A and B are shown apart, each in its own frame.
Chain A
Amino acid sequence: MKNPFNHDHPPADTPLVNVQIDGVWTQMPKGLNAVEAARRVGKFIPHYCYHPKLAIVGNCRMCLIETGGPKMDASRAPVLDASGKPEINWVPRPAIGCATNLTEGMAIRTDSPLVQECRRGVMEFLLINHPLDCPICDQAGECKLQEYSVQYGNDHSRFVEEKVKKPKRVDIGERIVLDDERCIMCSRCIRFAKDTVHDDVLGFTERGSHTTLAVHPGQRFDNNYSLNTVDICPVGALTSKDFRFQMRVWFLKETKGICTNCATGCNTIIGSRESTLYRMTPRENEAVNSEWMCDQGRLGFHYIHDPKRLTQPIARHGPETTPLAWSEIIPQVAERLRQFVPEQIGIVASGRLTNEEAFLVAEIRRVLGGDSVLTDYVPRFGRADGILRSADLNPNTHGVTLMGLSNGGASLADLRRSIDAGQIRALVVLHEDLTAEAGWDGATLQKLDLLVTLGLLQNPTTDRADFILPGASFAEKRGSMINGAGRLQRLNRAIPSPGQAWDDWQILLRLKEALGGGNGLHTIEEVFKAMAAQVPAFAGLTLSRIGDLGIELEAAMPKETATE
């Protein structure tokens, strides 16, 4: 992800300068702004309009600090104090930290009485016309106005006038509602739309205290990144229609995840409460998605709570379906599969499988007959947008390819022909609906003697299946995937799977054991280890070593990025 600005990450070769922060001398990259400099020494300069990835406009004035420079004597040499450090000439007028760029000998005060007074002033100004909708505001609990009010504001209001009235519940786009009274006019959303997404449709109208955020006449704020503005809006002015009024944020459990809606694999925070996923928000990873994600990916989780979700292992005998326990169904599936010779079996894998799952599928294939078992995956392509979205809509094409389960989709037609011709009589389908995704018709599936499906939702393929194995969604399981750029990343479990649905790796491991005997693997870590022992790309890695931000794989990986 290429951001127009990266104020927090100056180029590595930026020279260092000596600066004094709250009395302590330290070295920092030249030109770094004071907000970032303070952050690096564990000091926080509160700010609203500043964002490390957006243009600096300095409008909120929350980041006011004191600045100074070395005191010079008559010969223009710095005056030194007793300890040999330069004495500071403080500028009487406060300066905004976000636009204070470090120079040699600069000094800043982030918390002096003047600075505190400036913040109190700004907080008072921001609140006088604010509606204080907190009890019904979705931002409450993660609102910077609330937070800074507690930390830097006054304990009472001096404002007895009538507040300025502005439009509420403005429908500015497909996915966003605007409350103009809550807007603090920081212009973050405007700058993001204009400079990051190149969709310059937001702006201010009116003047002074009547300034009103609006979408340009005849336009809609509908781009595929619009919901990022809900994240960066410091207050509850921009809310997501999807998340609005669904859950108070303080009840949300946060789990680090990755988005599985395309090969970019944006890092996410999954917000869940008990067994329900309420929202996904981007998690910063400069190597992948910076601080953003696309709306499609963000909202592309609701299917996991779909009423069609499969929650019970089921065996079908003719018109009869029988719910079975896992301990019953897995031996039955193994038993039926064993009745076919390798040339009679086919496997349809999926780019949605984790590496661990794909590894276990490859193991099962080996037990069933190896290369003689015709296998491929279902490719899925859209269009790259030059921002984040990849043309490859499978999250783990690299992983299934690495495990030898893919022929790029080229073998799907052979598979279908062989089924139609009666050569292949048993088919295992993983996380795919062949009718919808591969365009097969029901007649082909009817030809099969055995159809085993592992997946999440009921669909025409599972309707025909002899065995329906309900698996786990991306939010319900652990494992790893390789994104389009060759980065190995982890999934974490945020919520339990519904009903009897089970981790795919568990199901596949049991099936493999039922087919070919145990091999001492009991945990996902052990599966990863076994995989790493066999797949050179993972040599020396463990699941925990991948870390929250993932790692770039050494092995030559066909590179594909969203910008291509």
Chain B
Amino acid sequence: MPVQERRLILANIDRDGYTPDIDCYLRNGGYADLKKALTLDGPAIVAEVKTSQLRGRGGAGFSCGMKWGFIDPKKNTKPVYLICNADESEPGTFKDRQIIYKDPHQLLEGMIIACYANNVHLAYIYIRGEFVLGAQILEKAIAEAKTEGFLGKAINGTGYDLEIYVHRGAGAYICGEETGLIESLEGKRAYPRIKPPYFPAVLGLYMCPTIVNNVETLCNIKHIVRMGGAEFAKIGKPNNTGTRLLCVSGDVEKPGYFEFEVGALTMGELINDVCGGIKGGRKLKAIIPGGSSAKVLRAGERYKIKSKKPDGTMEEKEIGLLDITLDFDTLAAAGSMAGSGGIIVMDETRDMVECLANINTFYAHESCGQCTPCREGSLWMKKVTDRLVAGEGLPGDPKLLKTVADNIAGRTICAFGEACAWPVQSFVAKFPEEFAKHAEGKVATAARKGTVAQEPSKAMEAA
């Protein structure tokens, strides 16, 4: 029997007659979890979140409870800020927008609880500039929540005050990186900060302790309060708890967004049972499992996955790509990551060099330009893959790509360095024959309709 979706966050989204206004939300039991939360004290909620083992849904998969625990309410004397990261820009990722557009009060409720738990009185939703309507929807939802007494002064008759502001980005992917986001919120260029010393939990917004959480992460808080952390932790697998919004795009029959218990289904089940299989009955070639920066996985690869058996002993299994269960730990063990939940599927007709050129174009365009390796390396890699695609490859290109990427990853200010290096490293390593063919300089990718326009390198033309 195909695995069933477990709709926790998407419970109401796309349901007939469900609207984003507060009346509809209240009719469906909205803000009851906030009312419950307000009867608890903050540290108790933080403890529940720790118990829930919730991991961040923004990309890094960091423990949410641990992140909150970095701020010690007994020692901290500064105001604490909370920022909802609604910058959703990772290619292949389109989950947060469903929440924002279709169920904004779910986000607000989760956010208000998170703020209350961490003694936050001022919070921001940093939303990507392109979500123009989304920002309006959130503004409206905030106004409604205020009218109903769930936001503003003396929330729901308690002594707790909270203001939430929506801040629109101006169209840069790097504003999703939490310290770049903070700089941007402060009115500066979104140059990510060096860590140390500027960990958000210590020196965040206006140099005060700051919690940055993804939209989906914050929605989960509401459900953790309702169920209790222990109950929540029963969903999914240990250390991989809760549900996960998965965004499937690319060469499948039925792309879309889905919600499953973490680790409840395999890649094969997702593609074949949920998404109707590979488009046109073609064969699978590769999958990027966690947004464009995740390392690509190739059909036919074998992975050795260690897991803990119920009796506590470790067992190692060798599995194929379609057997990978969709959870943080398994994808990491397979050498990639669950990332942002954006699953990009490529079929046998895809030219992997062209796919990489597309990704490289994105990262070269989005590098903030602050630190040397990423600034210079991202454009260099793009130029090389453009050349390869244009049939102007040189024999040394695959090795060049690899070494350039190696010189970026691990040496930059922010994880964008890895984000732009990992695709290159993994594509070149896993599809050597395709790169070698292009490197002979003879193969120009047959122009596909609707793919990126390539700038032929003038230097090469001259040569």
A residues with CB within 8 A of B: 56-62, 64, 93-94, 96, 99, 101, 118, 121-122, 124-126, 128-129, 158-162, 164, 184-185, 203-204, 206-211
Contact = CB atoms under 8 A, between A and B. Distances in A.
A160 B409 CA distance: 22
Interface in B231-255: none
A271 to B, nearest CB: 30
Given A96-B194, A207-B366, A160 B377 contact: no
Given A56-B194, A204-B189, A209-B364, A126 B372 contact: yes
Interface stretch (B154-162, B283-291, B452-460): B452-460
Contacts of A185: 369-370, 372, 375
A58 B413 CA distance: 7
Nearest to B413: A58
Nearest to B188: A203
A207 B372 contact: no
Contacts of A126: 372, 376
Interface stretch (B304-312, B330-338, B378-386): B378-386
B372 A99 contact: no
Contact of B371 (A56, A58, A101, A159): A58
Nearest to A56: B194
Interface residues of B, number: 39
A208 B366 contact: yes
A442 B285 CA distance: 96
A108 B38 CA distance: 49
A99 B197 contact: yes
A61 B369 contact: no
A211 B400 contact: no
Given A101-B196, A207-B368, 19 more contacts: A57-B191, A58-B371, A61-B413, A93-B410, A94-B411, A96-B194, A99-B197, A101-B197, A160-B463, A161-B380, A161-B384, A185-B370, A203-B189, A204-B189, A206-B369, A207-B366, A208-B375, A211-B369, A211-B370
Given A160-B459, A209-B364, A59 B371 contact: yes
A118 B411 contact: yes
Contacts of A209: 364, 367, 369, 375-376, 378-380
B394 interface: yes
B194 A207 contact: no
Nearest to A64: B411
26 contacts: A58-B194, A58-B371, A58-B413, A59-B371, A59-B372, A61-B411, A62-B372, A99-B197, A121-B373, A122-B372, A124-B407, A125-B375, A125-B376, A158-B400, A160-B394, A161-B380, A162-B457, A162-B459, A185-B369, A185-B370, A203-B189, A207-B368, A207-B369, A208-B364, A208-B378, A209-B369
Interface in B379-420: 379-380, 383-384, 387, 394, 396, 400, 406-407, 410-413
Residue of B172, B367, B369 with most chain A CB atoms under a 10 A cut-off:
B369
B11 to A, nearest CB: 39
Nearest to A212: B369
Nearest to B406: A121
B365 interface: yes
A263 to B, nearest CB: 38
Contact of B459 (A59, A96, A124, A161): A161
Interface string B421-460: 0000000000000000000000000000000000001111
A129 B372 CA distance: 11
Contacts of A60: 371-372
A183 B3 CA distance: 56
A555 B194 CA distance: 48
Given A61-B373, A160-B459, A162-B458, A208 B196 contact: no
A99 to B, nearest CB: 5
Residue of A60, A62, A160, A203 with most chain B CB atoms under a 10 A cut-off:
A160
A125 B404 CA distance: 9
A186 B383 CA distance: 24
Contacts of B197: 99, 101
A184 B367 contact: no
A93 B368 CA distance: 22
A158 B397 CA distance: 10
Contacts of B367: 207-209
A412 to B, nearest CB: 53
Contacts of B364: 208-209
A557 B460 CA distance: 71
B194 A99 contact: yes
Contacts of B376: 125-126, 128-129, 209
B369 A208 contact: yes
Contact of B407 (A62, A93, A121, A206): A121
B332 to A, nearest CB: 17
A227 B412 CA distance: 30
A60 B412 CA distance: 9
The 5 closest A-B pairs by CB, nearest first: A121-B407, A211-B369, A125-B376, A209-B379, A208-B367
